[in-house]
Amino acid sequence: MFEALGNKLQDILDRVGRESKLTDTQVKAAMREIRMALLEADVNFTVAKDFVARVSEKAVGQDVLGSLNAGQTIVKMVHDELIETLGGQAAQPTLKTEGNVWFMVGLQGAGKTTSTGKLAAHYKAKGRRVLLVAADTQRPAARDQLEVLANQVGVPVLKVADGETPQQTRARLEAHLKEDFRDLVIVDTAGRLQIDAALMDQLADLQSQLQPSETLLVVDAMTGQEALNVAQTFDARVNLSGLIITKMDGDARGGAALSARSVTGKPIYFSGTSEKLSGLEPFYPDRVAGRILG
Ligand code: GDP
């Protein structure tokens, strides 16, 4: 496992002496490399620093494990800690028998509308009666884009009108649900290119009216360092319940996932793996841990 990194560490550790337990000097030398690897994978600087401190504390004095050398032992500890930090095992959003309202939030371009369509397809295939709400009044064409996706999936869509208040949206949604029962309502909310106060106010207002059971932040894996700030700000204002990491099919190594998860402590439920409606997978912490280590 991660032979290149393990061997590289072993070369470094051989220079500081071989012991049956990991020494402080060995761990320090190895952690310089680990921190570099994390930063190369675009993990936020502070997150990388905290992570390394946590593993170092556990590693010093640890027995060198059976068939592994010191370098491999450290790589295994780092890998295990990465999996743990990323959430351990794949997790799923809470789904009640009915009355599920999910809020999709995120910056413009993160893949919010696309992910909304993907979730509709995913849960429709599981037998859910899905309704999409096109509430991204910010990006021109976002509502039409969602309507196209809804038609492709074969689920209805309720489009929020320009100038509609959150109260009016709630009333229209309630009226719609009386006519046409739906057990999962997924709301594509407004995004902006950057975080700003007006956007957060708008989201918080709609959230207080619709009382979503899940508020999911869509984060672009390519965002790198900025993922931490985005996740932190959204979580502080609209109290996220989970995360979706998009564009994992690209070159990004997954640092954004680690940063967003670390700073919010919220589970990552899905990865986006293509532009297509079928490009949605459960988020597997072990796979992403491997990818972060390279
Ligand atoms: P929004 O502004 O957050 O609603 O973003 P969109 O849903 O319109 O997505 C922005 C762009 O990213 C579009 O070109 C999508 O096709 C693309 N996109 C979204 N998710 C993924 C993904 O998981 N993988 C890839 N490769 N592209 C994606």
Asked if residue 113 belongs to a known ligand binding site, the reply is yes
- Please write the tens of the pLDDT for every residue from 36-76: 999 999 999 999 999 999 999 999 999 987 778 888 899 99
In 3D, which of 200, 284, 262 has the Cα closest to residue 44? 262
Going from the Cα of 111 to the center of ligand 1, the distance in angstroms, rounded, reads 4
Instruction: Round to whole Å and give the CA distance between 96 and 41.
Output: 37
Going from the Cα of 138 to the center of ligand 1, the distance in angstroms, rounded, reads 16
Asked if residue 191 belongs to a known ligand binding site, the reply is yes
Asked if residue 117 belongs to a known ligand binding site, the reply is no
Going from the Cα of 270 to the center of ligand 1, the distance in angstroms, rounded, reads 14
* Protein residue with its CA nearest to atom 9 in ligand 1: 111
* Protein residue with its CA nearest to atom 22 in ligand 1: 247
Asked if residue 192 belongs to a known ligand binding site, the reply is yes
Going from the Cα of 1 to the center of ligand 1, the distance in angstroms, rounded, reads 32
**pLDDT (average), residues 105-115:** 96
- Please write the tens of the pLDDT for every residue from 158-181: 999 999 999 999 999 999 999 999
* Protein residue with its CA nearest to atom 14 in ligand 1: 275
Asked if residue 209 belongs to a known ligand binding site, the reply is no
**Dihedral in degrees, nearest 10, Cα atoms 237, 226, 105, 195:** 60
Going from the Cα of 258 to the center of ligand 1, the distance in angstroms, rounded, reads 20
Mutation probe of ligand 1 site: the residue of 223, 246, 268, 269 with most atoms within 8 A of C-beta: 246
Asked if residue 107 belongs to a known ligand binding site, the reply is yes
**pLDDT (average), residues 188-208:** 90
Going from the Cα of 139 to the center of ligand 1, the distance in angstroms, rounded, reads 13
Which residues are near ligand 1 (CB < 6 Å)? Answer: 106, 108-114, 139, 142, 191, 246-247, 249-250, 272-275, 279
- Distances in Å between the Cα of 42 and the Cα atoms of 55, 73, 221, 226, 237 are 19, 24, 9, 10, 25
Give the ipTM of the model, two decimals please. Answer: 0.99
pLDDT band at residue 5 using 50, 70 and 90 as cut-offs: confident
pTM of the shown model: 0.94
